[in-house]
Chains A and B, each alone.
Chain A
Amino acid sequence: MNIFRRTIPLIIAFCLGIVMIFRYYVPHQSAEDLLTKYGEWVRIIGGFSIVLGLYSLFFTHYTKIKRGMPGWGYSIFVFIGFAVMVFLGLIKEFETFLSIISGKLIDVTSPFGSWEKSLTGTSYDWIYQYIFNACGATMFSILAFYIASAAYRTFRIRSVEATILLLAAVIIMIARVPIGGLISHWIPDLADWIMEVPNLAAKRGVLLGMCLGSISTALRIIFGIERGYLGGGE
């Protein structure tokens, strides 16, 4: 059984890894098609994996409701939000589901159309615009307050490094608002220089290190040295 549990996954990773590396150096349409097909297959497998996320979320909140844990009432809103969104999003798909249930293909010739075309101006779109967007933007904007608090704590550490970080942050922040240019034209110029020279140098160094690390990890995966993705157990 070990061959199915460990060896076959390692063979799949090895073969696919090697094929995909060599595919890059083959200047032929079939190599491009292979990449496109692989991308589609990964999207299909990823599509199935959303069920795992759904299960995890529902299990957590269902358990909270079932056991009457503190704040269980809020979990109901997760189910309501989910149900409403799925219902409104897939309301146009009833034709498809009806076909599946009845076992008879209804309106086979109708083009499914692009997603934007079919959902713009619908209730789904309304929820996206007035609920999802509003909540998302507000939640991210709240972070500004916590970033300010974190910055205060960071800048309290009196060291050369903290001072450099503070100066760079202040210059960038002032330069990116109109008052920066009004104080002196040097401030936006200095901010541009920071972005284009020292920031670029550091980013390039980090990126090169990251790339070398990624390549070594990818090679370790292909050759079966890195097996973390297999998970624990036998």
Chain B
Amino acid sequence: MTPEKNNKTIDTILLIIFVAFLLGINIFLFSGKYLHFDTQGVGIVVAAFLTLAMYSFLYKDNPLFKIAEHIFVGIGMGMGVVLTWLQVIKPLLYKPLIRHAIFDNTPGTPDYILIVPMILGIFMFARLYGKTSWLSRWSFAFIVGGGAGIGIPVIINSLILKQLEPSLQPIFVDWVVTWQSINILLILVGTISVLIYFFFSLPHKGTIGGISRIGIWFLMISFGATFGYTVMGRMSLIIQRIQFLLTDWLHIIK
């Protein structure tokens, strides 16, 4: 038997054991009245199966993980379509415009101006056909151009000025050095050195090089802090899933 075939056999055996284990446990949970055979009980079993199927990827890419992954993708897309219809197309286009065009007895007056975004939206489909794909540029220009215009004053006011204001606080009050003064000075040094690090019009040598190196240290602290928070966020997700498995599914933790 080749090693590849041998591995496949081991994987198949593990898969069967895993499914049998799940089946056995769930039969025990339902027969022991730990779980009720209702929407909640079945939901917990399905969620537990999918959770374990997803974690099985840690062993290796396998059919259970792939099934769970593909279901997730399909459901995600379906949810996107449902939400788009219910929250966008129906209230913003169907009710004020299309309904009036289809039915004579619709109350109210149609909002004809909505024909413009509808046409621009339909132009997006032109992307799928090579010869007419240029039509979609009109829609993109509408979104990108307007977005750029909205963004400029908002960025200047809400981000640049609002960020600069606290950076330019007085360091000393009555020439007394406090812990606060040191912090303000450090923030100022950090902000300027990081900005200089990202300033590539001058070679990073000599004084500029030294300042940009300080900027790198500040960036490293920030990246480290972000990394730490990300790890803790993911850890809390693991804890949440394990808690779900041990509490809601297996009832080991009360």
Cα separation A197 to B91 with both chains bound (whole Å): 46
| Smallest beta-carbon distance B12→chain A, Å | 16
- Flag if B152 contacts A218 (CB, 8 Å): yes
Cα separation A214 to B154 with both chains bound (whole Å): 11
Q: Is B10 an interface residue (CB 8 A)?
A: no
Question: Is the contact region of chain B dominated by helix, strand, or loop, or is it mixed?
Answer: helix
* Max chain B C-beta neighbours (<10 A), residue from A42, A138, A199: A138
Name the interface size band of chain A. Answer: 35 or more
Cα separation A127 to B43 with both chains bound (whole Å): 8
- Flag if A199 contacts B225 (CB, 8 Å): yes
Q: Which of A40, A137, A169 contacts B92 (CB 8 A)?
A: A40
User: A171-196, CB under 8 A of B: which get 1 and which 0?
Assistant: 11100110000000000000001111
| Smallest beta-carbon distance A138→chain B, Å | 4
Binding site for B on A (CB under 8 A): 4-6, 8-10, 12-21, 23-25, 35, 38, 40-55, 57, 71, 74-75, 77-86, 89-90, 93, 96, 99-100, 103-105, 108, 112, 115, 124, 126-145, 147-148, 151, 160-162, 164-173, 176-177, 193-209, 211-212, 214-215, 217-219, 221-222, 229-231, 233-234
Binding site for A on B (CB under 8 A): 39, 43-44, 46-47, 50-51, 54-55, 57-58, 63, 66-95, 99, 102-103, 105-107, 114, 116-118, 120-122, 124-125, 127-128, 133-134, 136-156, 159-160, 163-164, 167, 183, 186-195, 197-198, 215-232, 234-235, 237-238, 240-241, 244
Q: List 19 A-B contacts (CB under 8 A).
A: A20-B150, A40-B117, A42-B146, A43-B92, A44-B89, A45-B139, A46-B88, A74-B69, A85-B78, A138-B237, A139-B69, A141-B240, A147-B231, A160-B217, A172-B229, A173-B232, A198-B190, A200-B190, A205-B193
